[in-house]
Copies of this chain bind each other. A is one copy, B any other.
Amino acid sequence: MTNNIIITISRQYGSGGRLIGEKLAGKLGIPFYDKELITMAAEQSGFSREIFERMDERASSSLLYTLSLNPGMAGGMTGMMDLPLNDKVFLIQNNIIKQLADKGSCVIVGRCADYILKDRSDCVNVFICSDMADRIKRITEVYGMSLTNAEREIQKYDKRRANYYNFYTHTKWGIATNYDLCLNSGIIGIDASVEVIRAYVEGRDRFEGRPAR
């Protein structure tokens, strides 16, 4: 890989998207950001880590309280004081995602990174899905979740992720044309999914007719 590349990964719950992203970053020798974004957001903002964990990938709601933030805290967040807490969390993560992309090649999971970085020409946006049966198998075997609740849990998380994405991006989560590459990981497994994404990234790197978008 010769060019700078930011790979964003959106993923259905239980599809193994996080692990695919992590392995891909390892193979390419570039940083990987998922829960790391929460730690960074907490450090930079002065908000507690617990707030970011609770609000992570959740859309705004008028029922949510607004955090009364000390104006001296969280540099650069002037003008955010009256926003609902979710929106503040989104904006803080938004800034961090932009900073990380400016630093160089990396893999970023979730948090609308594809949309946040849409004006950059060096992004490859990936969506990972998987059939319900394969996701149930994965979350019961890997996460140790009970089989009784598995499907309901998956639907709950997917709905939350879709709401978050649709709310902040004004487009639709999981529409093929919003991404460069979408794949069903349950059919080929984690390692082959990494290889397919790598083949796409390398193809992009080699393609001379590549548009400057």
Residue A183 is within 8 A (CB to CB) of chain B in the complex: yes
Closest Cβ of chain B to A197, distance in Å, is 9
- With A175-B174, A176-B176 as contacts: A203 and B192 at CB distance below 8 Å: yes
Q: Which residues of A are interface residues toward B (Cβ below 8 A)?
A: 12, 124, 127, 129, 131, 133-134, 174-177, 179-184, 186-189, 191-193, 195-196, 199-200, 202-204, 206-207, 209-211, 213
Q: Are the C-beta atoms of A176 and B213 separated by less than 8 Å?
A: no
Closest Cβ of chain B to A154, distance in Å, is 13
Q: Are the C-beta atoms of B207 and A200 separated by less than 8 Å?
A: no
Across the interface, which residues of B come within 8 angstroms of A206, CB to CB? 192
Whole-angstrom CA separation of A176 from B131 in the bound complex: 11
Across the interface, which residues of B come within 8 angstroms of A189, CB to CB? 203, 207, 209-210
Q: How many copies does the complex hold?
A: 2
Q: Are the C-beta atoms of A187 and B192 separated by less than 8 Å?
A: no
Across the interface, which residues of B come within 8 angstroms of A184, CB to CB? 177, 179-181
Across the interface, which residues of B come within 8 angstroms of A129, CB to CB? 176-177
Across the interface, which residues of B come within 8 angstroms of A191, CB to CB? 203
> Closest residue of chain B to A192, judged by CB?
B203
Across the interface, which residues of B come within 8 angstroms of A174, CB to CB? 175-177
